[in-house]
Amino acid sequence: MLNCKTSHIVTVVISTAITTIFTVVPGYSKHLRNNDVRFVSKTSHGFDSVAFIENDHCVTSGQPYKGVSTYKYMSIRVKAGRKNASYPKSCFKNWVAADNYGRLPDSLHFVVKGTLILKKRGCSVATLHEIVLAQGHAINSNNWWVGGANCIHPKNSFKKRRYNELHCYDKNQQWCLKRSSTTDNMFYVWKGVCEK
């Protein structure tokens, strides 16, 4: 039997009440899609699987939604339709630390909020609360956005934010999430600061 150590975590609670009435556009295609975002450990001693526990979501009006699951150990799969709209963007803005986040998307397909758990041999090595995952569309691809109530974009030596990197915090640890330079749906993750 595995002996899992207790993780040190901090829960940041954001109370957001959103009541909105939508009009569905007739004739717009409503297909349920598998939308996968992958989190890869940058170090061999990091983690070997991920999980996501959803506690809220926003989707474009009229689009289907069937929840969040783990896919092939390292990916989070969101089963939802794809149509850009401003409503998911407003959820994203409300759920991330917008003052620390900087650049925000113009529109999104969907947004999910919950707890991202990084595991090694079935034991939790990090539990990041209030993480926000979102997908939009840019030019020829569906791009992913990651944020959180307890995350910030680090700044470079010129005091400008590095938008491809994100520092997320739990009680005693800092984790870096860095977007892959070759694909829009993959993030490298490691404990510690992002590179300068």
What are the pLDDT digits (tens) for 157-194? 556 777 788 999 887 789 999 999 898 899 999 998 88
The residue range of the domain holding 51 is 33-149
Q: Is residue 181 part of a domain?
A: no
Q: Is residue 25 part of a domain?
A: no
Q: Is residue 166 part of a domain?
A: no
Q: Is residue 190 part of a domain?
A: no
pLDDT at residue 194, rounded to an integer: 84
- 3 pLDDT band (50/70/90 cuts)? low
As a whole number, mean pLDDT of residues 69-94 equals 94
Q: Cα separation of 194 and 176, whole Å?
A: 5
- The number of domains in the chain is 1
pLDDT at residue 26, rounded to an integer: 40
What number of other Cβ atoms are within 10 A of residue 188's Cβ? 19
Q: Cα separation of 52 and 69, whole Å?
A: 7
Q: Is residue 139 part of a domain?
A: yes
More confident position, 153 or 6: 153
Q: Is residue 24 part of a domain?
A: no
pLDDT at residue 105, rounded to an integer: 86
* Burial of residue 56, with CB atoms counted within 10 A of its CB: 0-12 exposed, 13-18 middle, 19 or more buried: middle
Q: Is residue 3 part of a domain?
A: no
Q: Is residue 193 part of a domain?
A: no
Question: pTM for the whole thing?
Answer: 0.82
